[in-house]
Amino acid sequence: MTRSLRWLLVVAVLFSMTAVACSEDEGGEAGGSISVTEVWGWSSTPDRGAVYFMVENAGEEADRLVAASSDAAPTVQVHETTMVDGTAQMGEVEGVDVPAGGSATFEPGGYHVMLMDIPEPLEVGSTIGVTLTFEGAGDIDVTAEIREFTGEAMAEDGGM
């Protein structure tokens, strides 16, 4: 094999690998524009817990978190904490919008992923896997580190 033919073969292989990598990055409708960071959780009771995180949308189209699941709990819902007559109330929401070029924050006292009917209490320092489902981006798997539950933090933040 001549030197120029080997060089051409190497260039062709590298080009093919680059084309495959680029097409995988584009993924679903959101084009890989959704990223999830700062993921953590806590167990507020032996059978309930919550997961918090930041969602960034670097894309040009809005997306929406519509569901979540976890092997750590048989029931997982997207919730929002609201204040009604000075009392924190939690409830399931159909989804949380993530604007194009923007973000959505999941934090105590606001949006969160609620873990219910947990078969075993979540241990501080352990990690759990959570799958977040977006309308456009599809499923994104994240890992949440479990932190210590503090009632004072809950009182300051107004709820889960």
Q: Which fold is adopted by the domain 34-157?
A: Immunoglobulin-like (2.60.40)
pLDDT at 18: 30
H/E segment holding residue 151: helix 151-157
Is pLDDT at 16 greater than 90 in this prediction?
no
* Three-state secondary-structure class, residue 25: helix
In the chain, where are the structural domains located? Answer: 34-157
pLDDT at 1: 54
4: exposed, middle or buried (Cβ count in 10 Å: 0-12, 13-18, 19+): exposed
Report residue 129's pLDDT band, with 50, 70 and 90 as the boundaries: very high
Q: Which of 51, 75, 64, 28 is nearest to 129 (CA)?
A: 51
Euclidean distance between the first and final Cα of the chain, in Å? 67
pTM of structure: 0.74
**Model confidence over 116-128: pLDDT tens digits?**
999 988 999 999 9
Residue with tokens 């078969």: 119
Q: DSSP state, 121?
A: P
Report residue 151's pLDDT band, with 50, 70 and 90 as the boundaries: low
d(CA 75, CA 6): 57
135: exposed, middle or buried (Cβ count in 10 Å: 0-12, 13-18, 19+): middle
DSSP bridge pairs for 4: none
